[in-house]
Amino acid sequence: MPGLAAVVLVTVGYFAVLSTIPVNSTHPVFGAPSNHYIKVIDSKNGPIFVTTSTKGAKKNIEPTYKPIIHARVGELISLHIINEDHDKHNLNLDEFNVHTNDIGYFGTQSITFVADKAGQFYFHCTLHPEMTGSITIE
Give backbone dihedrals phi and psi of 18, rounded to 5 degrees, phi first.
-60, -35
Query: What percentage of the chain has pLDDT greater than the value 90?
Result: 53
CA-CA-CA-CA torsion sign (87, 89, 130, 33): positive
C-alpha gyration radius of the chain:
17
Q: Give the predicted TM-score (pTM) of the model.
A: 0.79
| DSSP run (H or E) holding 16 | helix 2-18
Query: What percentage of the chain has pLDDT greater than the value 70?
Result: 77
- Residue bearing the bigger pLDDT, 61 or 87: 87
Q: Is the confidence at residue 63, as pLDDT, over 70?
A: no
User: How much is the pLDDT for 29?
Assistant: 74
Cα–Cα distance measured from residue 22 to residue 28, given in angstroms and rounded to the nearest whole number? 7
Give the model confidence (pLDDT) of 97-137 as tens digits: 999 999 999 999 999 999 999 999 999 999 999 999 999 99
Burial class for 135, CB neighbours closer than 10 Å (0-12, 13-18, 19+): buried
- Residue bearing the bigger pLDDT, 9 or 87: 87
